[in-house]
Every structure is written in structure tokens, then in C-alpha cells.
Structure 1
Amino acid sequence: MSKPIKENINFEDLSKIDVRVGTIESVENVEGSNKLVKLQVDFGDFNRQILVGMQGERENPQEIVGEQALFVVNLAPKKMAGEISEGMLFDIGYESGITPVLAQPEKPVPNGTIAG
């Protein structure tokens, strides 16, 4: 069963979210967590460490190394399991109860390309 559509927001709210394309350079398990992995992501002009609850969702999280994906880059940093996350990976499926897949551009674009 699908979930109901969330409450409407206005364009101004949406324009506050900075979504950019980045290439996942590495994936490491977060020590002391049975869920989190640490991504190192290249956004062209900058790199970020982004934590994702991916352990157990994928048989081999390493399969996403080298892939481009969409990330929120202006989310306030958050400490989880002793590590700092500097953004959020957009994935597709988790909220719908299916194995998540990356939200990706249809073809390679320069790292740091802004979505919207």
C-alpha cells in the first residue's frame, strides 16, 4: 500500500534545499554501528562525508563506489555513532518498503551539478 502524499509546500521552501550530484569515492562501515556506512563523496569543488543507514539493505555496499547520485548538501551536520554526517543521500524505495536504489542522473554530469 502506498503512503499518502505529504502536505503541500511552497516553491520558496523547496528552493532552500541544495541538491547536487556527487560521485561516491568510498564506502566504509561505521565502527560501533550495525546500520551506518560512511560515504566519501566528491562534489567537484568540495568533498563531504555522508553517513547512510545502508548496512543490511544491500548485500554489498561497495557496489556503489564510483556511482554518481543526488545528495542534499546544505543539511546541518549531524553526529551519529561518533561520526559527523555532512549531508544526505537521496535514495528511492526506503519509505516505500523496498530495497533502496540510488537516485541518479540518467547520464554522467560534472560533480557538483545542481538539481532543480
Structure 2
Amino acid sequence: MVKDLITLDDLSKLDIRVGQIVSVDDIEKSDKMVKLSVDFGDFHRTILVGMKKEREDPKEIEGMQALFVVNLAPRKMFGEISEGMLFDIGYEDGITPVLAVPEKEVPNGVRAG
């Protein structure tokens, strides 16, 4: 089912950017979450992602570029602050998520849309 219609103004509120995943670190207090350190060119962010049960080795995504929503309000979880959201494909449809990635390398921080 397709979600409710939105306007272009609604869409323009999302700041989706390409970031390079510098490191993936375990969050010992969680059975789901890992901590990503992400390079967006002009800035770096810590983003928590629930992928421990989705991948045998979450560190396999280190060094990869992916899409992230960078203008979400920071959220504290498991004693860490998450400063965005990984934009992945599949979770909402109940399949093992995969990264949304650019078809070729682009500068970190480039906006999607």
C-alpha cells in the first residue's frame, strides 16, 4: 500500500545526504544496536542503527557510502546520542535491509533529491 500523498514542500524538509561509514562499533547494552561514525565531508555524525540481528558482521559496511537522513532531532539511546538515521531499503517490508548507496562514489555530504 502506498502511503498518504505529500507535497514537494514536505519532501524538501528531509535532508538526505551521502556519508561514508568510517567505523561500526558495538553497543554492549543493546542486542540490536550498533554505533556508526559517519563522515559527511564538512561534518561527522554518530548514528545508531539496529542492525546486529540483520547482519552476521555489521563491520562489513565500514568504508562504504550510504544515504542518511541528517536533520532528525538527536535521540539518546543506550547512553549514546544518535544524530540521524541510516536510509536503508527493506525493513518496512519485512526483508533483511540493505544499504541505499550511490551507484558510484560521490563526495561525502552530497544531498539526495
**How would you bin the TM-score normalised by the shorter chain?**
over 0.9
Q: Which residue of 2 aligns with 1:10?
A: 7
Q: What is the Cα deviation at residue 112 of structure 1?
A: 0.3
**Runs of 4 or more consecutive aligned structure 1 residues displaced over 2 Å after TM superposition:** none
Alignment partners' CA distance in 2, 1:77 and 1:24: 18
Give yes or no for the alignment of 1:34 onto 2:31.
yes
* Correspondence list, 1:49-88, <5 A: 49-88=46-85
The code of the aligned residue for 1:111 comes to N
The TM-score with structure 2 as length reference comes to 0.98
Percent identical pairs in the alignment equals 71
Alignment partners' CA distance in 1, 2:49 and 2:6: 26
The TM-score with structure 1 as length reference comes to 0.96
Unaligned runs of 5+ in 1: none
The code of the aligned residue for 1:57 comes to E
SS at match of 1:31: coil
Aligned partner of 1:91 among 81, 85, 88: 88
| Count of aligned residue pairs for this structure pair | 113
Alignment partners' CA distance in 2, 1:28 and 1:90: 18
The code of the aligned residue for 1:99 comes to T
Alignment partners' CA distance in 1, 2:28 and 2:80: 9
Q: What is the Cα deviation at residue 31 of structure 1?
A: 2.3
Could you list the per-position Cα deviations for residues 16-63 of structure 1 after superposition, in whole angstroms to 9, with x for gaps in the alignment? 000000000000111210000000000000000000000110011010
Q: Tell me how large the CA RMSD over aligned residues is.
A: 0.5
The code of the aligned residue for 1:11 comes to L
